[in-house]
Amino acid sequence: MVRMIAVNINKMQKFIIIPLFAFTLTFMTVSAQDKNKAINELMAKGTLDFLTDKEMAIESFSKVLDIDSTYALAHYMLGQCYYGLGMSTEALNSLDNVIALEPKNAKAYAIKGLIFTETNDYLSALRAYNQAVLLNPSNGNYYYSRGFVQCKLENFWYAINDFQKAIELNFKEKDVYYWIGYSYILLGDYAQALPYLEKAIDLGKRDADAFYHLGYVKMFHQQFDEALKDMDMAIAFDYKYAPAYFTKGYILYVQKKYMESILAYNEGLQLAPFISDGYKNRGMTYEAYGDNDNALKDYSKCIEINAKNKEAYLLRSQLYEKLKFYKEALQDMTTYTQLSPDDVKAVYARGRLKLFMTDEKGACEDFREAANKGDLDAIKAIEDVCKVIEN
């Protein structure tokens, strides 16, 4: 009996094993379906929350990754959430996870480029955009974004090439034309800059930057009245836009409208009191207007802010000389020649000031130094002054 029972039990075990195995397969199938359903529901919820509550969205996408850590889209959306919340490090980590799973995901590189750009890490941004362009060379936005970074890195020719490529790919936004114009300005090609800036404004880029740079270009084309109108437009869009006041002041100075120029500089310096050139240029205007006291104050204020502003030393030296303050003029001219050792005219002027201070030997040394560099006035001074003194 005992042996027969054992045999029956064994038979029962064999009989039972088959339905248990079938049950396990059924369970696994249901589990996979539930997993996919849960992921889809969480992704849908997270995507919806992304628009209004990124922290809630993070919870949903994190739960997806708890279920499946290789779900690249969840990493990508998580990176978008962190970026939207200003959490750059976390965003970059999430995007790196996307790239590890999908090395050819151009969008992940592009968003990394955007984050690096906004954190002023332009070299890293450039590397990220290089990858985005390499992976998707038909996306004009990627070229535009890389061009912007090239501008920040002062690689203006590369920037222009990228912007032009963006336009070829039908990325014809107003900003791309603006940045081409801006790049040409920095390259000193004002003729090329003008049509692009005008195009940007025609397309709707109506802000202080656009009108300021358009007016700046027109100033170099000596279209002074038109340039002034653009500066006024820049100020109309942003009354605290200091560069427009400074440039307006300079244009009015060139037009010999000295009081109007001074008023414009006053506005600019009230907004940006630590711009040394603002004081220097207002000093030039005061001097042209005949107000030497205020001119000297402005030149001195310029030097106080920036002790290496060589033009301020030159201007103040020349004004001191005009006022017959030869000692002060010589001090400033000496400093200027130290800052600008290749200015032969200044070496000659320094010698002339030494002559006024009865330093005849020093004067002739300066005349000879300037003469050896080809200055005709210095050569004449040697003939007319030094030979007489030395004889």
- pLDDT per residue, tens digit, the chain (391 aa), is 333 333 343 433 433 333 444 444 444 454 778 889 999 999 999 999 999 999 999 999 999 999 999 999 999 999 999 999 999 999 999 999 999 999 999 999 999 999 999 999 999 999 999 999 999 999 999 999 999 999 999 999 999 999 999 999 999 999 999 999 999 999 999 999 999 999 999 999 999 999 999 999 999 999 999 999 999 999 999 999 999 999 999 999 999 999 999 999 999 999 999 999 999 999 999 999 999 999 999 999 999 999 999 999 999 999 999 999 999 999 999 999 999 999 999 999 999 999 999 999 999 999 999 999 999 999 999 998 998 887 6
Q: At what angle do helices 72-84 and 88-101 cross, to 10 degrees?
A: 160
Cα 111 from Cα 132, distance rounded (Å): 9
Is 223 exposed, middle or buried (CB count within 10 Å of its CB: 0-12, 13-18, 19+)? Answer: middle
Q: Is the dihedral of CA 267, 272, 273, 276 positive or negative?
A: negative
pLDDT given for residue 34 in this prediction:
83
Domain containing 380 equals 342-391
What lies within 8 Å, CB to CB, of 151 at 6+ separation is: 159, 179, 182, 183
Q: What is the pLDDT of residue 6?
A: 38
Question: In this structure, is residue 235 part of a structural domain?
Answer: no
pLDDT at 25: 45
144 within domain boundaries? no
Domain for residue 106, yes or no? no
Distance (Å, whole) CA 248 – CA 264? 6
For residue 330, is it within any domain? Answer: no
Domain-located, residue 380 = yes
- Gap between the terminal Cα atoms of the chain: 149
- How many structural domains is the chain composed of? 1
Would you list the DSSP string of 343-390? Answer: -HHHHHHHHHHHHHTT-HHHHHHHHHHHHHTT-HHHHHHIIIIIHHHH
Q: Is residue 194 part of a domain?
A: no
Q: Estimate to the nearest angstrom the gap between the alpha carbon of 160 and the chain centroid.
A: 15
Whether residue 144 contacts residue 171, with contact meaning beta carbons closer than 8 Å, is answered with yes
- Judge whether 390 lies within some domain: yes
Tokens, residue 343 = 């200015």
CB 347 within 8 A of CB 375: yes
Q: Is residue 349 part of a domain?
A: yes
pTM: 0.82
